[in-house]
Structure 1
Amino acid sequence: MSDVRTRLRTALATTTERLGAAGVPSPSVDARALLAHAADTDRHLLLLDALPEDFEDRLEASTARRERREPLQLILGRAPFRRLELAVRPGVFIPRPETELALDLLREHTRGPLAEIVDLCAGSGALGASVLDELPGSRVLSVEIEESAAELTAENLEAAGPGRGRVLRADLLGEIPELDAAAPVDAVLSNPPYIPAGAVPQDPEVAAHDPHRALFGGGEDGLEVPRAVIDWAGRLLRPGGMLVMEHADVQGPAARELVQAHGGFEDVATARDLTGRDRFLLARRAAAGAQAGRGRLSR
């Protein structure tokens, strides 16, 4: 036991120092996660009374990857999201903690049932999988353009809600008859690409490992794909159905203006994330016959 504790203390101190020197933002937290991964355990490290024979070799390999600023989630093969541990893999956008609030906002602002939900630009399937996990009576249609991401979405949906999710591989900028056929639905969720063309991600984990197609929203303002999301929400939502769409913290006014220009929505607002930054567009589909642009525009 004492030998295990000594090995763990030494490994934790060394790994934390190495990650800190490499510029990793949370070296101690990441070091503990890498130690648990090398030990092949979900238990607290202090509870371990034995380590695998290849513990040091596994830890060295994963530490070297993190030193090169490969995302921790890719090294571990999973990412926490709300109540779930999602599968992740290279080439697919890694879910972010700030996106988790989307489901809370949906439940807070929805009137009526949440049975049929569409997740646009699904990526890893994080939003759709969380819906299936937390709303047992729901069904989810996830739409994703990239083949590898669509395959991962299908995997995460099936794990969260067997038989209740399906994936459609399609480009939102084109016509999608099968998606049109899904209407009417109770909600549309989306974390689309929205970074403007001239913005360059600063974190190496993002710049080198998130696919650019999942980051840049198209056009100089980055709002080409978000505009398509709003258009599809207008086509898909039942009267009273909710759109919750993530966007950059500087895009709140522009996103509300897109909804106003589209027409047919009410109760349009911007919601802030847990750090107080504008993060989500909220819009309710107006009743049939409502005037274009009806509703309140607010923060």
Structure 2
Amino acid sequence: MSAADTRTRLRTALSETTQRLGRAGVPSPSVDARALLGAAARCEGPLVMLDDLPDDFSAELERLTARRELREPLQLILGRAPFRRLMLAVRPGVFIPRPETELAIDLLREHSEGPLATVLDLCAGSGALGAAVLDEIPGSRVLAVEIDAAAAALARENLESAGPGRGRVLQADLGDSTSSSLAELIAAAPVDAIVSNPPYIPPEAVPRDAEVLEHDPHRALFGGGSDGLEVPRAVISWASRLLRPGGVLIMEHADVQGPAARDAAAQIGGFDPLSTAPDLTGRDRFLIARRGDGDLNPGSERLTQ
């Protein structure tokens, strides 16, 4: 097949795949179609640079397209997800990193005082935030904590790829502060910063997108309690206990939870100041809590001991 024939075949495949994905309700059919064509062609670069296609191109493209038509997330089909400068491994049953979470690293760098030698990634999932810290902050070390065994294993892989030998993953339940499995977390104190994208969806707020509802684990979505903030409160409580004076917590939350997250941090105590940062669309999405110099209040001690 000539190079011209290859390009004609690719144009036809791109048009047909885009139409199929559009009919299936995929939000970005053209972008996804290009990604599927690249995977079927085993091409890492631009499709226009291809002079030939594998013998199984059509069969492989059909297989991949059929999966996306069923609204399986593109990241799971490809086995990877972009996150800042990284290409992270993803697997079924583990929360897929989102572009909006990337802003947490910018906020970390903006609001940190002093070195970032030791950073915690709580409710780490795939380890996206911790891996980005290792990649972008030379000399940093990351301890990630994740309750799910499959996610913890994936986080280990992504941290090791981003910063060989500088990341560790602890499989533990942050809600069980008396567990011996958290001894390593306690021993890490004081730490310079904490980043977290915990589950925070309230129980009645069922996700609309099939990609989320059918493929992201519910444990990684729903935060517990009537307001979805049970797990985020545990994260805030650990931050009040583990951060050094001046250390900062950057925690993602839903766009309607800004006041409640600040109130939770104020009640737990140990932070000064508290603020909320918007995402790139202007919606309130991140709690910024700096550890003060004073002692924790009794409520915080009860939550973390």
TM range (shorter): over 0.9
- 1:48-127 alignment runs, 5 A limit: 48-127=50-129
Match of 1:226 in 2: 232
Match of 2:265 in 1: 259
Letter in 1 for 2:233: R
- Structure 1 residue 270 corresponds to structure 2 residue 276: yes
Q: Is the 8 A contact 2:272 2:292 kept in 1?
A: yes
Match of 1:7 in 2: 9
Structure 2 unaligned segments of length 5 or more: list them. 300-305
Q: In structure 1, what is the Cα distance between the partners aligned to 2:297 and 2:231?
A: 25
Q: Is the 8 A contact 1:109 1:242 kept in 2?
A: yes
2:164 aligned to which of 153, 156, 162: 162
Kindly state the Cα deviation for residue 3 of structure 1 after the two structures are TM-superposed: 1.1
Q: In structure 1, what is the Cα distance between the partners aligned to 2:295 and 2:203?
A: 37
Superposed CA deviations along residues 98-146 of structure 1, whole A, max 9, x for unmatched, are 0000000010011100010000000000000000000111000000000
> TM-score, with normalisation over the residues of structure 2?
0.94
Deviates more, 1:135-144 or 1:174-183: 174-183
Kindly state the Cα deviation for residue 179 of structure 1 after the two structures are TM-superposed: 1.1
Find the residue that maps to 1:268 and give its secondary structure: strand
- 1:39-54 alignment runs, 5 A limit: 39-54=41-56
Q: In structure 2, what is the Cα distance between the partners aligned to 1:244 and 1:216?
A: 19
Letter in 2 for 1:243: L
Deviates more, 1:170-179 or 1:188-197: 170-179
Find the residue that maps to 2:38 and give its secondary structure: helix
Identity %: 73
- What's the Cα RMSD here? 1.2
Q: In structure 2, what is the Cα distance between the partners aligned to 1:289 and 1:97?
A: 36
Q: Is the 8 A contact 2:268 2:297 kept in 1?
A: no
Deviates more, 1:40-49 or 1:206-215: 40-49
Q: Is the 8 A contact 1:77 1:89 kept in 2?
A: yes
Superposed CA deviations along residues 246-275 of structure 1, whole A, max 9, x for unmatched, are 000000000000011011101210000001
Q: In structure 1, what is the Cα distance between the partners aligned to 2:296 and 2:220?
A: 34
Match of 2:39 in 1: 37
Q: In structure 2, what is the Cα distance between the partners aligned to 1:178 and 1:8?
A: 53
- Structure 1 residue 205 corresponds to structure 2 residue 207: no
Q: In structure 2, what is the Cα distance between the partners aligned to 1:23 and 1:49?
A: 32
Match of 1:182 in 2: 188
Match of 2:133 in 1: 131
Deviates more, 1:43-52 or 1:12-21: 43-52
Q: In structure 2, what is the Cα distance between the partners aligned to 1:292 and 1:267?
A: 19
Kindly state the Cα deviation for residue 292 of structure 1 after the two structures are TM-superposed: 9.0
Q: In structure 2, what is the Cα distance between the partners aligned to 1:30 and 1:133?
A: 27
Q: In structure 1, what is the Cα distance between the partners aligned to 2:134 and 2:42?
A: 28
Moved over 3 A (4+): 288-293
Aligned residues: 293
Find the residue that maps to 1:136 and give its secondary structure: coil
Find the residue that maps to 2:263 and give its secondary structure: helix
Q: In structure 2, what is the Cα distance between the partners aligned to 1:80 and 1:220?
A: 33
Kindly state the Cα deviation for residue 288 of structure 1 after the two structures are TM-superposed: 3.3
Q: In structure 1, what is the Cα distance between the partners aligned to 2:174 and 2:282?
A: 30
Superposed CA deviations along residues 165-192 of structure 1, whole A, max 9, x for unmatched, are 0000000001222211110000010000
Q: In structure 2, what is the Cα distance between the partners aligned to 1:234 and 1:290?
A: 7
Q: Is the 8 A contact 1:265 1:292 kept in 2?
A: no
Q: In structure 2, what is the Cα distance between the partners aligned to 1:291 and 1:149?
A: 33
Q: In structure 1, what is the Cα distance between the partners aligned to 2:143 and 2:218?
A: 24
Structure 1 unaligned segments of length 5 or more: list them. 294-299
Kindly tell me: are residues 93 and 290 of structure 1, through their superposed partners in 2, closer, same or farther at Cα, counting changes over 3 Å? closer
Match of 2:302 in 1: none
Letter in 1 for 2:237: D
